[in-house]
Structure 1
C-alpha cells in the first residue's frame, strides 16, 4: 500500500501553517508517513505514538537527523512547557479517549511557545476508502463518532480560536484486491462468503492499471490563541 501518493497531506498543511525553522510535535505519528514530509520543512520534529510496533516501522523508514520518535503509552504529552512552535495531530485526536480529549488538547496548548499553533488533521466525509471503512469495518472502521467528538473538543479549548475547516482528499494505492485485504481487513478469510464476495466486488470498481486506487475525505483546522 502507498498512502497519499500525491502528497496532499503536506501540501495542505504547509499551505495553512508555515513550518520552516519551526520545532514541531507530531501527535500520533503511526508508521511515520506524514513525519517524513514534516521533517523536510521543520527544523526539528518530535513524533510520538502509543503503538510501539508502528514506531519501530517509523524509525526504520525515517533516517532524518532532525526527527526523534518517542513512545506515548499512556497518551500523556510529557514535555516541558513552551517546548514547541507547532503541535500537529495527524489523524489522531479522534483516537484519544473521550474522557481525556479536552485535557489532551489543553496539555498540547501548554507546550507551545508564544505565537504557536495547533494543527488538527481529521477524517472527513466521502470517498471510496471512507465508504469501505464504514460499510465493511476496514482499517479503523467508522470514525464519524470520534471525529465529531474531536470537533467538539477543539471548539471547547478555552482561549483558542478554531480556524476555517479546510477540506481535501487523499488517495491510497494498493497493488490489487489482496493487498487491500491484507492491509485493512485482518480475519477476512474467516468472514462469511457473501461478505467476502461483496468486499471484492466493491474493491474491483476502483481497479486501474496501477492497481486499486481508493480515496478519503480529510479536514484540517488550525487553532490559534485568542
Structure 2
C-alpha cells in the first residue's frame, strides 16, 4: 500500500500553517508517512506514537537528522511546558479514549509556545476507502464516533479558537485486491464466503492500471489561543 501518493497531507498542512524554522511535535506518527514530509519543512520534528512496531518502521523509513521518534506508551505527552511551536495530531486525536480526549488535548495545548498553534488532521466524510472502513471494518473500522468526539474536544478547549475546517481528499494505492486484503482486512479468510465476495466485488470496481485506488475525505483545523 502507498498512502497519499500526491502528498495532499503536507500540501494542506503547509498551506495553513507555516512550518519553516519551527519545532514541531507530531502526535500519533504511526509509520512516519507524514513525518517524512514535516521534516522537509520544519527545523525539528519530535514524533511520538504508542505503537513500538510502528515506530520501528518509522525510524527505518525516515532517517532524517532533524527527526526524533519517541514512544508514548501511556498516551501521555511527557515534555516541559511550551516546548514546541506547533503540535500536530495526524489522524490520532479520534483514537484517544473518549474519557481522556479532552485531557489529552489540554496537555497538548500546554506544550505550545506563545504564538504557536495546534493542527488537527482528522478523518472526514466520503470516499471509497471510508466506505470500505464503514462497510467491511477495514483498517481501524468505522471512525465516526471518535471523529465526532474529536470535533467536540477541539471546540471545548478553553482559551483556544478553532479555525475554519479545511476539507481535502487523499488517495490510497494498493497493488491489487490481495494487497488491500492483507494490509486492511486481517482474518479475511475466516469470514463468510458472501462477505469475501462482496469485498472483492467492491475492490474490482476501483481497479485501475495503477492498481486498486481508493480515496478518503480528510479535514484540517488550526487552533490558536484567544
Q: Decide: shared fold, TM above 0.5.
A: yes
TM-score by length of 2: 1.00
Unaligned runs of 5+ in 1: none
TM-score, reference length from structure 1: 1.00
1:199-210 matched pairs, under 5 angstroms: 199-210=199-210
Once the two structures are superposed, what CA deviation does each residue of 1:35-84 show, in whole Å capped at 9, x if it has no partner? Answer: 00000000000000000000000001111000000000100000001100
Aligned partner of 1:176 in structure 2 is: 176
Matches of 1:120 and 1:31 in 2, distance apart? 18
Structure 2 equivalent of residue 135 of structure 1: 135
Written as runs of structure 1 = structure 2, the 5 A alignment for 1:105-144 is 105-144=105-144
User: C-alpha displacement at 1:176, in angstroms?
Assistant: 0.2
- Summarize the alignment of residues 49-64 of structure 1 with structure 2, pairs less than 5 Å apart: 49-64=49-64
Alignment of 1:73-88 (within 5 A): 73-88=73-88
Aligned partner of 1:12 in structure 2 is: 12
Residue 161 of structure 1: aligned partner: 161
Distance across 2 between alignment mates of 1:132 and 1:33: 21
The equivalences for 1:36-75 within 5 A come to 36-75=36-75
| Cα displacement (A) at 1:34 | 0.2
SS at 2:15 equivalent: helix
1: CA distance, partners of 2:109 / 2:115: 11
- Report the Cα offset of residue 2 of structure 1: 0.3
Whole-angstrom distance in 1 between the partners of 2:99 and 2:190: 34
2:189 pairs with 1:189: yes
Unaligned runs of 5+ in 2: none
Q: Distance in 1 between matches of 2:209 and 2:4?
A: 18
How many Å separate the matches in 1 of 2:146 and 2:112? 25
1-side partners of 2:57 and 2:158: how far apart? Answer: 36
Over aligned residues, Cα RMSD in angstroms?
0.4
CA distance in 2, matches of 1:215, 1:114: 37
CA drift at 1:103: 0.8
Once the two structures are TM-superposed, the CA of residue 143 in structure 1 deviates from its matched residue by 0.3
> 1:35 aligns to what SS in structure 2?
helix
Count of residue pairs brought into register by the alignment: 226
Once superposed, which parts of structure 1, at least 4 consecutive aligned residues long, lie more than 4 Å away?
none
Deviation at 1:96, TM superposition (A): 0.5
